[in-house]
A and B are shown apart, each in its own frame.
Chain A
Amino acid sequence: MESFFEWLQSLSVPTWVSESDSIWGFPTILFLHSVGMGLSAGAAFIIGLRLLGIGHPLPVSSLRVLFKIFWGGFVLNFITGSLLFAAHATTTGYVPMYYAKLALILVGVILLFPMRRFVDSDASDGVIPARLKAVALVSLGVWIGVITTGRLIAYFS
């Protein structure tokens, strides 16, 4: 693993990200990562809250576009997150908080599928099943966890 992290970090783009003083390097990637967070976690928050039964008159079927926004933010953050990791692989690679964040993202993405299936179904504007409400509640907690662990990586390095 150690040699992999060192190899990753020595590549030209990660080296530029970590060493360049340009505003277009590390700072801009960090900004894009925050926007991606706003898109993904923001969409996940609205989906989760609505499936809990909050904001009732809003048709559940209108949430469909939010899944697209979620994935847009997800792709952006997969790219920017990979760059941020590669730039500091030899340190971040040993931070447990980083792996906690990745694990929570995995859980969050898995939980989106049953929610998506319900929102896409013809029954979406009917009664929300209790099990799906439980999924929505856990999903909200998981995305709060992703943001929190992500923010704490810098403090547990």
Chain B
Amino acid sequence: MNLVHLHLLLNHVPTIGTIVALGLLLLAFAKKSNELTRASLAIFFAIALVSLPTYMTGYSAQRALKDRPGISAPLVEQHQSAALLALIFMEATGVVAWFGLWQGRKPTGTARWSAPAVLALAVVTVALMASAANLGGEITHPEIMSAGAPQAGEGALAPAVLKTAFIAKYQFTHPMAWPTLEAIHFIGLSLLFGVVLVGNLRILGLMRNAAFVDIHRWLPWGVLGFVINSVTGMLFFIGQAFQYVDNPAFHWKVLFMLLAGANVLYLTLFDDVWALGTGEDAPSSAKLVAASQIFLWVGVIYFGRMLPYLGGAF
């Protein structure tokens, strides 16, 4: 099992998973079920997380196939930009889905716009994922290929700015682009880490004069930090993919980030922290989750900082 296997395994999650989650959301609308809506939103959030390594492992597959006869480089490139466009919509769906879950916790009740917004985004995502998957399938499955070699531009919805080569070239010709992204990445880190501290230290027993409901209001700021760092991080990855794909520090960083990201759902979905009033002590299971969340984010920082030292990144 290597990263190419992982790509072939993971790529079914965003393609099939979004269709299943979309069906669940439609069912939730039909039955007017709040519980089903929340389940569907949580699934969209999880798929959005898994989509990140799905995209990244594609670079391993690309390299494994690069010098094989019968592999069309323009087709690989088309698959890649179609996948990036699909990824962008998938991540937007995941963020809005999370926001819907968060809003559902407001004392004023569920907001009306978030679930329909997820529905609209998900429909677009399903179409884009199907297009990316179809192009990806054609790379090594000649039996499904339409007659002749694929034409340049065929099936490619993605604009030119989403081409990997364009992003890498921009970073190369603008020497301040990389340092600027790094500075923004560190600002996003601090914002995210600040919210992680506030949320989890309350559960661990500090800031007891705040009820968890009040702390929960801050979570979108943490998610904003996460979004800033996903965008800047993906731009690093796309610009210099080959210093990350085989970098063990990067693998650990992504693993820790996925676990920490999934962990964030605990704060919104589970009732044991939600009920925490002013001055009250959290159950020890919640404290364990809170401690693990701080540990995981410190781990993300550790492996991020070690990219040049445990691996070959600059």
B-facing mask of A119-157, CB < 8 A → 1, else 0?
000000000000000000000000110011011101100
Instruction: Assess the A55–B217 pair: CB atoms within 8 A.
Output: yes
Q: How far is the CB of B186 from chain A (nearest CB, A)?
A: 5
Residues from chain B with Cβ under 8 Å of A46 in the complex: 194-195, 197-198, 218
Interface size of B as a range: 35 or more
Residues from chain B with Cβ under 8 Å of A49 in the complex: 221
Instruction: Assess the B179–A155 pair: CB atoms within 8 A.
Output: yes
Given the complex of chains A and B, what is the CA–CA distance between A78 and B201 in angstroms?
Answer: 24
Name the contact of A62 in the complex, choosing from B179, B186, B210 (C-beta under 8 A): B210
Main secondary structure on chain B at its contact with chain A? helix
Instruction: Assess the A45–B191 pair: CB atoms within 8 A.
Output: yes
Residues from chain A with Cβ under 8 Å of B209 in the complex: 59, 61-62
Main secondary structure on chain A at its contact with chain B? helix
Given the complex of chains A and B, what is the CA–CA distance between A41 and B189 in angstroms?
Answer: 9
Contact A66 to B186, CB < 8 A, known contacts A30-B305, A38-B193, A61-B209: no
Q: How far is the CB of A152 from chain B (nearest CB, A)?
A: 6
Q: Is B231 in contact with chain A by the CB < 8 A criterion?
A: no
Q: Is B120 in contact with chain A by the CB < 8 A criterion?
A: no
A-facing mask of B187-218, CB < 8 A → 1, else 0?
10111111111100100001101100111011
Which residue on chain B has the smallest CB distance to residue A64?
A: B207
Residues from chain A with Cβ under 8 Å of B117 in the complex: none
Q: Is A94 in contact with chain B by the CB < 8 A criterion?
A: no
Which residue on chain B has the smallest CB distance to residue A152?
A: B179
Interface size of A as a range: 35 or more
Q: How far is the CB of A128 from chain B (nearest CB, A)?
A: 16
Instruction: Assess the B213–A57 pair: CB atoms within 8 A.
Output: yes
Name the contact of A42 in the complex, choosing from B182, B190, B217 (C-beta under 8 A): B190
List residues 57-82 of chain A with CB under 8 A from any CB of chain B: 57-59, 61-62, 65-66, 69
Q: Is A31 in contact with chain B by the CB < 8 A criterion?
A: yes
Q: Is A37 in contact with chain B by the CB < 8 A criterion?
A: yes
Q: How far is the CB of A43 from chain B (nearest CB, A)?
A: 6
Given the complex of chains A and B, what is the CA–CA distance between A62 and B309 in angstroms?
Answer: 39
B-facing mask of A28-60, CB < 8 A → 1, else 0?
001100110111011111100100001111110
| Shortest beta-carbon contacts, A-B, top 7 | A42-B194, A38-B193, A41-B190, A27-B309, A62-B210, A42-B193, A31-B305
Binding site for A on B (CB under 8 A): 176, 179, 182-183, 186-187, 189-198, 201, 206-207, 209-210, 213-215, 217-218, 221, 298, 301-302, 304-306, 308-310
Other than A35-B298, A39-B193, give 14 A-B pairs with Cβ distance below 8 A.
A27-B306, A31-B305, A34-B304, A38-B189, A41-B187, A41-B194, A55-B217, A59-B214, A61-B209, A66-B198, A143-B190, A147-B190, A150-B186, A154-B179
